[in-house]
Structure 1
Amino acid sequence: MHRPASSYIPAIDGLRAIAVIAVLIYHADYLSLLPGGFTGVDMFFVISGFVISQSLSERRDLGFVDFLLGFYQRRLLRLLPALLVVLIASFVLSAMLLPQVWLSEQNNRTGLAAFLGLSNFVLAWNTDTYFAPGADLNPYLHTWSLGVEEQFYLGFPVIWFLWLRQRQRVPLLWALLPTLALASLAVGVLQTRSDPLAAFYLLPSRFWELASGALLYQVLQRRSAQAPSNRGLTLVLAVGFALVLLGFLQADTTGFPLPWALATVTGTLLMITAVVLPDSSAPSVAHRLLQSRGATYLGRLSYSLYLWHWPVAVFVRWTVGFELLLVQLAYPLLVLALAAASYHWVETPIRTGKSIVQHRTWATAAACIVAVGLSMLGARWIAENPDRISISRTADTYTWMAYRHQPREPLPTMEGASLAGRQIFVLGDSHSAAYRTLLKLASLQLGVEVIEHERGGCGVVRLIGGDPPACAQSREAALQAIETNAKPGDIVLLASLRMPELAGRDWADDPQAAWAEALAELNADSRAEAMVSAHAVLTRLQAAGLQVVIDAPKPLFRAAANRCSDWFNRMNPVCAPGLSAPREQLEILRAQQMQQLRELRRDYPNLTVWDPFALLCPGPICSAFDRDGQPLYFDADHLSGHGNRVLAPDFIRLLLQVWGQPEEVADSRSSAPQDNLNPGPLPTLSGPDVPQPGRGS
């Protein structure tokens, strides 16, 4: 019976080098050479399945307990130390450089779960795919593959032990791993279409990839010892590389892992076969390249390269960006330096050390539990107290954040019969969450209760198109809750993004074309769909006897204030469009929506339009900052905490008007803080039924 050599196979590290280089090129923003380079991870899965099977087979004579404990001890010493270093470094740098945006909670959950090998579950339960733009700023995104491997290791050693020790007496054990692999393949086929996040991130649809490496080992165990010819091995290697290259160049993100992972997995199996089987003659040029000193060194660094490359890319992307040639040249050198330091100073010393931690299983387990526990505590403290170490302007969360703080200033409270027992229901997308400071001030001053039904990306009465069909279930649940719990006369605030976003468009070459592109999104079809959605919601709320307040489209910007306000990121090319916009252009961009609001007001007497546009933009140029340099906006379109406090007096005055509060009580609002905004005289619009800037209508 033929058996693959149990000793170190240098060419395997050469294959690892190919895999990690493909992933690095894919994740480098300035290179578009390998649009399917993410399939390098699938190469890693197959290689791991084969190498782990070989390693376990070398210890087939151990008892079951020693077999398992020894395996987990080696895995912990191999994987955990470098992972902890990278995770802690990422938490520290995230707190120092990245503002605490709405994505931060998701990022922190991902990072904390990565300590336990569970980050793939957090990502699978998120709404963004691996390829979504928001994922570019999650420094822990890449740990999903480590989670898949670690979960595979939980059960696979038991399966392999049974096969090693009992396959002669129980021939059915030969069918156990193939059966599980086929079941996993079937799950992957179904989930790729029905639940692509689970298909991409979770073990059930990825098990077959790791198992394929182990199955290859089993197949080679049953082969005759006859050595193939040099030409045959070279052909197998070439075909395998062609299939892998096909995956690197053509893999479709919408059909992953299946069917596109099949090309990479099959190609990797062929390449492993070619480099593992004995060669009776001199190795080919391809074999020599895979076994070369440079290739094998990169292969040994591959784990550390993989760990470091992604968080470094995230922090470069956030700060200086990848557009400069100097940055493009420096990035791979920095990643290589960090990986080499990690390999030589962390991975190797801990894995090969002679202390009791390396030689006693109980000591290894205890040390790992303590290290993970302390690291998680430290990371959680950093995540909860980022302002303690942040070097960003956004560390002043009272000014920048719209939802974190109670008001610091004394607030006058008011009472009145029309306010007793009143409720404000808030329904909309993330822009309703961006009003939380304003709503908190209203609640405290008026003594009313605020109930939020907010879901990011799920605008209601958007006016720029139909309300998202994917949000229909959550929107219906929120409307039913409002209809059940609201009393006639209560207010429903519908707050959503109601202008086409400006950030992310190509402003460098032809700004006028970018404005035209945004305006073109507001076509007759989108208007018709928007009005259908609006009537469906407003009819129900009017039937329930509720007052409805809609915020008119506010200014928005071509770059994000939180990303372009620090010395270390304002030179980033994404900031080049600037943090201001001509008022005239923004008025054009919202003209159709304002007309829609006029029409809706005529149809629904219970509807009030609140238009804070002029308060936020008192002059011909709208800015994300007020005249004192304080941020009105957190990013390109969400209000800051300071912006909320600027608008709060006007919003509270509007509530009093809707509820018919006596004018003399409403006038006492002038004592509310104004946050030093002095916009000057407010311009007015002409025409019938036009909402006045800064006032309800």
Structure 2
Amino acid sequence: MKYRSDVDGLRALAVLPVVLFHAHIPGLSGGFIGVDIFFVISGYLICSLIARALARNEFSIIRFYENRCRRILPALTVMFLATSAVAAKVLLPPDMESFSRSLIAATFFVSNIFFWRSSSYFDGGSEFKPLLHTWSLGVEEQFYIFMPLILYVIARWLKSKYMIWLLVLTLPSFALSVWGLTHAPTSTFYLLPMRFWELAVGALIALRPERISPSPRAIREIVAGAGLLAILYGITMLSEESSFPGWNALLPCLGAAAIIDAGGRGGAWVSRLLSVRPLVFVGKISYSLYLWHWPLLALAKYQAMRQLTVVETAGVMTAALAISILSWRYVEMPFRQNRRFFNSRMIFAGSAAAMTLMTAAAFAGIYSQGLSFRYPNFEQQTISGKERYNGGTCFLDGNQTFRSWRGDDCFLSRGRGKTVLLWGDSYAAHYAPGLVDEAAHLSVDYLQYTASACPPVFDYYTAIRPHCREFNDNLPQIISKYGIKTVVMVGRWESLFKRGVSPSQVADTVARLNRMGVAVYVIGQSTVFNNDVQTLFAQGGNSATTAEASAPLSFSRDINGRLAAVLPAGTFIDPLAKLCHAQDCDFRRDGQYLVADIGHLSSFGSKLAVATYFPFVSR
């Protein structure tokens, strides 16, 4: 297959947005679409190679997987070994055990399934998972299992009508991706059936009939330019809250396909732009750069116990670039080019040995409970709190609609006075234990109306929780049915504002409620730390006898000031004023944790918070 420098340049256009997005560079809120561009490129290159080999009757499944092993496993194994060594040094036992489980999944290229079952890609805690980025390798490797067989069947029995039969597979995959956004968003993000179409877009470009002549130059220029604009639009205009993949992934995927197609039909100005030497070089090291940048960032943040500064981030990115160059030069290239020394037998034997070694290391981490002997005094506690949210009835999960809410069972107190509605997400639900414990001191009855990852903002949509909007739209019916005259709104505002919602939208929600004759209190952002508080406690060198502990927040404290500034006087209540000092905030008092994870209040913390600053509580 003829080398194309513009495809390497396109790889650079894929990897750089991903890396800069992970580094939290402003203006690149959709940088994660670089992974989708990689999918298109992979589909194009792999299917080009397979189709040419099939046309010459030279295709060998053994040789195909040998080449995949050469391309993927050496650099991946070195990254696994180095990351595991650093993880064993810095991760506390629970996190080391979780890392070990992800290592097994990544070794066998099913980490997309592992992370699908355990978390969302955009969860805050995901930033501390060193192997999270291997989910995309899982998708690609699973594609490599099925695609050679699919193309062989088409070539052998369906007269090489690749385009027709690939469209038969591609269109249902895309439809499933769109459908999944509102029915199973996490599955849609991680799993091959909903991502197959992205790789197939590249395959369709590779397998277009040879008889199609080069396009007129003007057409190529327009198509390639439109493709570049589509990619740039996705990088700058999409965000973590955009419905994705589905329709929003279509634009960057078609953009990448347009650029590849135009380059293959005679070239265009975009092809020449992507062929400049710096971009081509970044494209050549893109695989190693993708492998190394994420674990370096994740482990650095974990060790620092906070978000990195600009200077620290720059240092990590510089290290990632340097290591990637070395990995490309001394690991990737020798295995790919020196076929005399690294022959087929050595490649397969080495691959089996590497996977065996990684499996053994992972099982050692799991069965030693995260190498717990490193921290003989560390003891993971079960902190009471979340089990008291009234889950499934009054605090709904992402798969439940508002119809699952059991109104009459959601009173947190009875016989105390008029009914006040507690409305919001899990950061509203974490006050439920405290309201129950402090019921004797309430002058009202609180009714809980809460849903996971669903902030109390009208007209808010998130692909992460597709039922959230209708849950919030149902609020007027709840107000009418229970004669509500006062609503207490609580949300994880720092996450909401980071994802593009403005404080003024919260103010608009308050105004709409006021027009309905409802008084409103807004509880501001409570404490959220950079890691699980038990990890922070252990990293700080504390012992079980340490009564009090504090740490910096994961966000700027001015967020509550910004929210208060747009709300009517007397509406806003600031939890940080009661829970924080000048530089940090308490997560442990009187020998008990105030927080159960990174931010949700424990039962102890919930009771303290309610008694300290919640409305309608006698103090």
With the length of structure 2 as denominator, give the TM-score of the two structures.
0.65
Superposition map of 1:279-294 within 5 A: 279=267, 284=269, 286-294=270-278
- Of the candidates 270, 279, 295, which is equivalent to residue 279 of structure 2? 295
Matched residue SS, 2:448: helix
- Of the candidates 379, 390, 400, which is equivalent to residue 401 of structure 1? 379
- Of the candidates 407, 423, 431, which is equivalent to residue 383 of structure 2? 431
Match of 2:228 in 1: 241
- Of the candidates 340, 347, 364, which is equivalent to residue 381 of structure 1? 364
Distance in 1 separating the partners of 2:29 and 2:554: 26
Question: Aligned-pair distance for 1:232?
Answer: 3.2
Deviations 1:131-166 (A, max 9, x none): 111211111111111000000011101222344455
Deviations 1:475-494 (A, max 9, x none): xxxxxxxxxxxxxxxxxxxx
Question: Aligned-pair distance for 1:501?
Answer: 7.1
Match of 2:104 in 1: 112
Distance in 1 separating the partners of 2:578 and 2:310: 36
Q: 1:354 to 1:216 in 2, by over 3 A?
A: closer
Match of 2:133 in 1: 142
Distance in 1 separating the partners of 2:175 and 2:15: 28
Match of 1:155 in 2: 146
Question: Aligned-pair distance for 1:109?
Answer: 2.2
Distance in 2 separating the partners of 1:312 and 1:117: 20
Question: Aligned-pair distance for 1:576?
Answer: 10
Match of 1:624 in 2: 588
Question: Aligned-pair distance for 1:268?
Answer: 0.8
Match of 1:122 in 2: 114
Q: 1:99 to 1:71 in 2, by over 3 A?
A: same
Superposition map of 1:495-534 within 5 A: 527-529=446-448
Distance in 2 separating the partners of 1:635 and 1:342: 45
Distance in 2 separating the partners of 1:91 and 1:635: 32
Q: Is the 8 Å Cα contact of residues 92 and 535 (structure 2) preserved in structure 1?
A: yes
Deviations 1:347-380 (A, max 9, x none): 1112222346x333x5432321121011220233
- Of the candidates 239, 251, 275, which is equivalent to residue 238 of structure 2? 251
Match of 2:64 in 1: 71
Distance in 2 separating the partners of 1:557 and 1:274: 48
Deviations 1:423-465 (A, max 9, x none): xxxxxxx634xxxxxxxxxxxxxxxxxxxxxxx9543469xx9
1:12 has 2:7 as partner = yes
Distance in 2 separating the partners of 1:347 and 1:471: 42
Superposition map of 1:192-591 within 5 A: 192-219=181-208, 221-224=210-213, 226=214, 228-229=216-217, 231-252=218-239, 253-279=241-267, 284=269, 286-320=270-304, 321-355=306-340, 358-360=342-344, 362-385=345-368, 395-398=374-377, 400-402=378-380, 431-432=383-384, 457-460=386-389, 467-470=394-397, 527-529=446-448, 560=533, 562-563=535-536, 566=539, 574=553
Q: 1:568 to 1:277 in 2, by over 3 A?
A: farther
1:89 has 2:82 as partner = yes
Q: Rg larger in 1 or in 2?
A: 1
Question: Aligned-pair distance for 1:301?
Answer: 0.6
1:50 has 2:44 as partner = yes
Q: Which moved more, 1:562-571 or 1:297-306?
A: 562-571
Matched residue SS, 2:446: helix
Question: Aligned-pair distance for 1:33?
Answer: 1.5
Distance in 2 separating the partners of 1:178 and 1:572: 54
Match of 1:40 in 2: 34
Aligned length: 462
Any stretches of 5+ residues in structure 2 without a counterpart?
A: 401-425, 432-440, 451-525, 543-548, 558-573, 580-584, 605-610, 612-619
Q: Is the 8 Å Cα contact of residues 11 and 296 (structure 1) preserved in structure 2?
A: yes
Distance in 2 separating the partners of 1:79 and 1:633: 47
Distance in 1 separating the partners of 2:353 and 2:61: 21
Q: Is the 8 Å Cα contact of residues 138 and 314 (structure 1) preserved in structure 2?
A: yes
1:459 alignment partner AA: R
Q: Is the 8 Å Cα contact of residues 20 and 302 (structure 1) preserved in structure 2?
A: yes
Question: Aligned-pair distance for 1:530?
Answer: 8.2
Matched residue SS, 1:7: coil
Question: Aligned-pair distance for 1:67?
Answer: 1.7
Distance in 2 separating the partners of 1:23 and 1:524: 52
Distance in 2 separating the partners of 1:11 and 1:157: 25
1:401 alignment partner AA: E
Q: Which has the higher contact order (CA 8 A, sep 6+)?
A: 2
1:80 has 2:73 as partner = yes
1:278 alignment partner AA: G
Distance in 2 separating the partners of 1:267 and 1:587: 46
Deviations 1:53-89 (A, max 9, x none): 222234235657x521111110011101111222232
Distance in 2 separating the partners of 1:55 and 1:130: 32
2:314 alignment partner AA: L
Distance in 2 separating the partners of 1:15 and 1:184: 24
With the length of structure 1 as denominator, give the TM-score of the two structures.
0.59
Question: Aligned-pair distance for 1:276?
Answer: 1.8
Q: Is the 8 Å Cα contact of residues 184 and 206 (structure 1) preserved in structure 2?
A: yes
Q: Which moved more, 1:324-333 or 1:367-376?
A: 324-333
Q: 1:309 to 1:189 in 2, by over 3 A?
A: same
Distance in 2 separating the partners of 1:270 and 1:622: 54
Distance in 2 separating the partners of 1:153 and 1:322: 37
Question: Aligned-pair distance for 1:563?
Answer: 2.5
Distance in 1 separating the partners of 2:151 and 2:130: 34
1:22 has 2:17 as partner = yes
Match of 1:518 in 2: none
Q: Is the 8 Å Cα contact of residues 198 and 253 (structure 2) preserved in structure 1?
A: yes
Distance in 2 separating the partners of 1:151 and 1:309: 23
Q: 1:526 to 1:118 in 2, by over 3 A?
A: farther
Question: Aligned-pair distance for 1:228?
Answer: 2.5
Distance in 1 separating the partners of 2:75 and 2:588: 41
Matched residue SS, 2:2: coil
Q: Is the 8 Å Cα contact of residues 22 and 40 (structure 1) preserved in structure 2?
A: yes
What's the RMSD between the two structures over aligned residues?
A: 4.2
Distance in 2 separating the partners of 1:242 and 1:62: 38
